[in-house]
Amino acid sequence: MAREQLIYQILSISKSCRSITDIANRLYLSQPYVSKEIHQAEVKYHTKLLHRKPLPIKLTRAGEVILESLEKQLELQNQLLIDLAPFRDNSASYIKIATNQPWTTLYGDIIYKYLHKKFPSINFELTEVTTDLAEQKLLTREIDLFAGKNLNNDKIVSNKTFTNRFYFLIPATSSLYSKTNYMRILTKRDLTKFNNQNFVSLTDDSFFQKLVDHMLIDNNVNQGKVLKVDNHVVGTNTAAQGAGIFVTIYDFAEKWIGKKPFNLVEIPTTLLNFDIAVSYHYKASTLIKEIAKSLEALEEAYGKKLGII
């Protein structure tokens, strides 16, 4: 099943990728390996799965049929494990919760303590995944819950908790840095001044980075990406120390206040909207829905702490 799972991930992710290289980057695999897996699957099924040219790549009709079939196959396999859970040793069963990076790294202990207090007999597994992979894993029942970006899918229930507020962190090394105007709200007119500035960016597999890139491209802002990192904490830390401008949240930047000179410029939600939600499969059990409500309460408390809700 491991190979079928990989082909499912490749075909699913291809919908939002421009090339085979993009797919490989999103899955942290090499391009030759992904190409080989696609070729072997095409030999197995006796049909082309992807239109490779012209770019961007696109699923063939056969590829769409195989993707739908693999999704059902993987869902049935994982549903069987869910159905057998009441008959298994409790120590072998886990409720699997995924978050966007770096939430588990930063707040995994808080999440666990909060849930363990409410559900003391339940075992939990906490992981970090990208938004695309979270959606795939919810559809195939590989994870039970996702705490992260709001998902739009007919088979997934997403309960929004708050809309995150983001800021450009502008270090003192940037020509846009102001010694007197520490915090301010961005206007569309201001945005043009960001053209050709040095930026710290998240890696190409980040859905959030795509939102940032689109916002800047739509406003004719060219980024000089001098550094790519794999999560917001590293991006915030390197930006605060002068690497370049980075889009972050106040919570991550707060520890650098008074230690490093920088500005925080709030980005209006009309330019960058990122709704946070708790998501689960529409066939989820009553227990999963109860745990989801607790996660929603935890997210709402976090939003209130930031003054967002």
Tell me: the pLDDT tens digits for 48-71? 999 998 989 999 999 999 999 998
pLDDT score, position 308? 65
Tell me: the pLDDT tens digits for 178-188? 998 889 999 87
Which residue is listed with tokens 């709402």? 300
Closest by Cα among 172, 169, 168 to 261: 172
Which residue is listed with tokens 């961007």? 56
In this structure, what DSSP letter does residue 296 have? Answer: H
- The Cα 43–Cα 123 span in angstroms is 42
In angstroms, how far is the first alpha carbon of the chain from the final one? 44
Averaged pLDDT in 10-residue chunks for the chain of 309 residues: 84 89 87 93 93 92 93 84 68 83 84 92 91 91 94 95 94 94 87 94 87 92 94 95 96 93 94 93 94 94 75
The separation between CA 303 and the C-alpha centre of its own chain, rounded to angstroms, equals: 18
CB-based contact 127:143 (threshold 8 Å) = yes
The separation between CA 93 and the C-alpha centre of its own chain, rounded to angstroms, equals: 25
Tell me: the pLDDT tens digits for 8-25? 999 998 988 889 998 988
Phi and psi of 204, rounded to 5°? Answer: -65, -20
pLDDT score, position 86? 64
